[in-house]
Amino acid sequence: MVNLFTMHLHDAGMEPEDVLRELSQRLAEDSSFQSAKILGCMCSAPDPLSASVFARFLEKNAGDPGLFPATRELEREVIALMGSLLAGERAEGSLVSGGTEANILALWAARRRAGRGRRQVILPESAHYSFDKAADLMDLELVKIPLDDRFQMDARLAAQALSPRSMAIVGVAGSTGLGAVDPIEELSRLAERHDLYLHVDAAFGGFVLPFLEEAGYPSRLFDFSLPGVSSITIDPHKMGRAPIPAGCLLFRDEGLARFAATSVSYLTGGEAEQRTLIGTRPGAAVAAVWAALHRLGRAGFVRVVREAMELTHWLAQEIGRIPGFAVVTEPVMNLIGLRSLDLGSRELASLLRERGWRVAVFEDFVRIAVMPHLSRTKLEPFLESLRAIAGQKGDVSSLALPSGRETAIMTPKGDGGTIGTKKDL
């Protein structure tokens, strides 16, 4: 371990091979998708072509469209392609660094649309913590709506929570813990009736839901075919097979996209309008997403989703056979909530970690994201580990009912632990 306090720049600079050797050694300690021990992550090993395209176009800056007009054109195509997946023929938007930035950008646009005075956002308890960050940044009031027994936002309670201060509703299409899809149809009607901005967070589900039916599984309406939907987050670096960083915020149309616009005068390529929070952004990501979309095509994404769903259902079934363990709910996409009757989620995660497995920890369960780097052969040893843990804990055959919560363990740091002005119903 290096002593960070005494670190300084190498006097003469290192030889390239020494730099590479040291980096290879140092970074080998990280988890890798190739090892298939990463079970909790919503990202995966990217499509190989997409990854090599990223490396090839590193100098492109999508934040300076005058200097890189071809990259800008490519981005417009990528937006149109993702728009077409989400029934958004007129969709506009930008590639961003990920779901967090897309969600913050969406609420920024909603805030600008609403003007001063209205700053309340209605969202499900399962909403990603990026909305808490957005609330803190913009001094928004979050009203977190409890989930029903299918882990979806209760639309009736959402309607009751509306007030003259409300400016936006957020629905999640593929929740972070369990992949649950909120009743976006009902939320769309609410948004239309009350002239509210409706943002759909499909960071994970955006590349799953559009392919589920063709893959042989039920899907849900969540996209721009619903007239009340104003914007959608969809992340190519999750199920879109593109390398990190690649998130995307799509607006329904130009009129809404303009609420995210800022004009910048000093750019080398000439004055331009940016529709992102950040300025300089990787054009390499634009090219990489373009490559992934074109390489896979519709059939490729259907295959990715079908394989992931088959594996998910197989894994869920196998988990159900191990005494003392169960899945929280029938999977709706390739995410599984795994719970133990007699172990807390942190304890279970740490026992799995001792055996090399990395899962995501939520309050009542651990999440397994059944991503493309996994397979039955690679998951068999994981089931063995679960059996070994069950053996240590003794045979427990009945399980408590799911509680209806999908809560991330999140500890806000900073001003005494408050984020936004959360109001629990």
Ligand X SMILES: Cc1ncc(COP(=O)(O)O)c(C=O)c1O
Exposed/middle/buried for residue 192 (C-beta within 10 Å: 0-12, 13-18, 19+): middle
Dihedrals phi, psi of 339, to nearest 5 degrees: -130, 155
DSSP3 helix / strand / coil % (the chain, rounded to 5): 40, 15, 45
Q: How far is the CB of 255 from ligand X (least distance, A)?
A: 25
* Residue 25: how many other CB atoms lie within 10 Å: 9
Nearer to ligand X, 206 or 324 (CB): 206
Q: At what angle do helices 48-56 and 283-320 cross, to 10 degrees?
A: 150
Q: Is 176 among the residues that bind ligand X (CB under 6 A)?
A: yes
Q: How far is the CB of 272 from ligand X (least distance, A)?
A: 25
Q: Contact with ligand X (CB under 6 A): which of 40, 83, 98, 183? A: 98
Give SS3 for 333: coil
* Residue 32: how many other CB atoms lie within 10 Å: 12
The span from the CA of 401 to the CA of 332, in Å, is 18
Q: How far is the CB of 237 from ligand X (least distance, A)?
A: 6
Per CB under 6 A, contacts with ligand X among 8-67 are: 42
Q: Contact with ligand X (CB under 6 A): which of 61, 100, 219, 230? A: 100
The span from the CA of 187 to the CA of 184, in Å, is 5
> CB–CB of 338/367 below 8 Å?
yes
> CB–CB of 181/221 below 8 Å?
no
Q: How far is the CB of 181 from ligand X (least distance, A)?
A: 11
Q: Which long-range contacts (CB under 8 A, 24 or more apart) does 321-327 make?
A: 322/383, 322/386, 322/387, 322/390, 323/390, 323/395, 323/396, 323/397, 324/390, 324/393, 324/394, 324/395, 324/396, 324/397, 324/399, 325/386, 325/390, 326/399
The span from the CA of 420 to the CA of 54, in Å, is 37
Q: How far is the CB of 244 from ligand X (least distance, A)?
A: 8
Q: Contact with ligand X (CB under 6 A): which of 111, 113, 119, 128? A: 128
Q: Is 361 among the residues that bind ligand X (CB under 6 A)?
A: no
Stretch that binds ligand X, among 196-204, 271-279, 322-330, 336-344 (CB under 6 A): 196-204
Q: How far is the CB of 154 from ligand X (least distance, A)?
A: 18
Nearer to ligand X, 96 or 257 (CB): 96
Q: Is 204 among the residues that bind ligand X (CB under 6 A)?
A: yes
Stretch that binds ligand X, among 62-70, 93-101, 331-339, 375-383 (CB under 6 A): 93-101
Q: Residue 64 carries which side chain, given as an amino acid letter?
A: D
Q: How far is the CB of 97 from ligand X (least distance, A)?
A: 7
Stretch that binds ligand X, among 3-11, 62-70, 92-100, 300-308 (CB under 6 A): 92-100
Q: Contact with ligand X (CB under 6 A): which of 201, 223, 364, 406? A: 201
Stretch that binds ligand X, among 115-123, 198-206, 212-220, 417-425 (CB under 6 A): 198-206
Q: Is 247 among the residues that bind ligand X (CB under 6 A)?
A: yes
Q: Kindly list the residues in this chain that would bind ligand X in the complex (CB under 6 A).
A: 42, 98-100, 103, 128, 130, 172, 174, 176, 201, 203-204, 235, 247
